[in-house]
Structure 1
Amino acid sequence: MAEMEHSYTLRKNKFIKTFILFCFLLVFTSCASIPVEREWQDIKRVRYRTEKLQVGDIIVKSKMAKDPLGWYGHAAMVVKKDTIGDYPKLGVGYYEIDTYSWLYEEREVMVLRYKHFDEKFKELFEENLKKHTDKGYFISGRKNTNSFYCSKYVWYIYYITAKELGYDLDLDSDGGFMVFPYDFIGSEELDQIIF
């Protein structure tokens, strides 16, 4: 009996240490600097000019210190006219929402557009959007396709579309194990759209 309790205690301690390490890595790997040529915009500017948005545009919301879900910012993308596709949080999974409603918060945003988003890319991109909306929300490494979170979903749809077209594309500017919303801001493959 004592041996079972000791084994349980060791497993529990290992879990706690792993969890603390995971949190530490999240905090210190999610800090990305904003390139000088990029600038945050008031969300209202984008909200009232949504006609400028195109399928594939990535919208990054700024970090929110008061809400743990907003500590790393947030990212989603335009999946069809006036519609955002998003993996917002645990327990929700993928959902689509009208652009105006998604831009409701008082935060700053950045709209980024892939430089080579032509008709050929768009056609396959839209097919991949439909294929990958059935996963649950869970934070895991970039290449694990069993689950998604906001920025991982955006990253993966671009990654898999380019791969199926025969080339490599990594919109994660730091190429880390995980992709965070701010990682898109530093990508040289994305242009900022000013509203």
Structure 2
Amino acid sequence: MSEAPTYSAFLGTRRLATGPLSDTLTAVKTALDALPGPRTQPLIVFNDETGRPADFDWRGTLEEVLARHAPAPSRTGPGRPKLGVVSREVSLLPRHWDWLESHPNGASAALRRLIDEARKADPEGERRRVASLAADRFLTVMAGDLPGAEDASRALYAADWGAFEAALAPWPEDIRLHALYLAAPAFGQAQ
């Protein structure tokens, strides 16, 4: 995927927009405001990099929506905010903690180093793995009940492009095209 994540919005089975966050929010808010009555179809916005749905508050004007969901400014304080360090919990056995803490700069630095080395060892494999996960998450949400969904998932993880395309063939066009777009890197295809 690209450096800055793109977002894709679906109203029911119709894709409203795909693009940078501000462009997608603008397209969705404009479409919602143009609806003649209350919304009757589900609205789902996906982060294309992860395939996960993202929640947005659509109340107010377009300017209010954009301001509410603008990227947060860098915070100051403890930690390494410029690196985007986020605290989370990791469960390890005592021997793992002992090993990590024996490395220069502590356990966190050792974990970051190990992860970076693993990602660099097989960048193409990493790109395919990330794309497979994103496509699978999208398929689960948008196509889990469609005919051939299980076949599509099996073909995705078997890296069988022909079977993947065939499983998606009867699906609504926008869902099919977006699934192909997300899955293309998993198959080594250009987007």
Higher RCO (C-alpha under 8 Å, 6+ residues apart): 1
TM-score, normalised by the number of residues in structure 1: 0.21
More strand by share: 1
Question: Rg bigger for which structure?
Answer: 2
More helix by share: 2
TM-score, normalised by the number of residues in structure 2: 0.21
